[in-house]
Amino acid sequence: MQKNQLVRGLAVVSQVLLIGALILMSQPAQAHCDSEDGPILSSIRTALAGGDIAPILKWITPADETQIKSLFERVRALRGQSEEARAVADQLFMETFVRVHRAAEGAPFTGLKPAGSAPPIMVAADRALETGSVQSLADSVANAVRMSIIERFNHALERSKSQNSSVTEGREYVEAYVTYVHFVEGLHDYLSESATHGHAAPEQGHDR
């Protein structure tokens, strides 16, 4: 039983890695709102330079607006004192903003990340929005999932041919079978759950 549970757990981990952007929300810390690769930090810099906070308020909840607006005004005032003051003030605002944003999602803040730190699937998802086409991304993810199902199926099928030859080979078949079936089951369950709750995310307006 414990072995089967372990195999199922490994299958779920594989699912997370393969579907990428589709299930990164099951692990909020994987989001790239704290990375230079994401859209938030560049938007913050633009807001600080231009003095218009409105475009970045969509990334926080209404309950956090007062805090962020107040800090924005104080940081804007400090920026004019010197280059050093500007750098320190900007860093403080970016860190506070991202911390507040992530807290609203139930995710911890572990510092701002440099460019190149975001998962490639997140970068690809952003690029799809920038170009206005998701076809390449959808095809890539779909093909990765398809190949993973086929690999697990073929492994289970091959093991099934000798499953009754010995207890050892029988157990190898069971392990391959469980890996294959639970991988497919995990995909189905996640997609079914996403379809059920598909209209919730747009209302939250966060970096999902």
The 10s digit of each residue's pLDDT in 70-97 is 999 999 999 989 999 999 999 999 999 9
Q: Which residues contact 55 (CB under 8 A, 6 or more apart)?
A: 43, 46, 47
| Average pLDDT, rounded, for the chain | 81
Chain centre distance of CA 12: 15
pLDDT band at 3 (very low <50, low <70, confident <90, very high): very low
The amino acid sitting at 94 is: M
Query: Beta-carbon neighbour count of residue 27 at 10 Å?
Result: 10
Banded pLDDT at 34 (limits 50, 70, 90): confident
Q: How many CA atoms lie within 13 A of 97 on its CB side?
A: 31
The SS3 assignment for 53 reads coil
Q: What confidence score (pLDDT) does residue 200 get?
A: 44
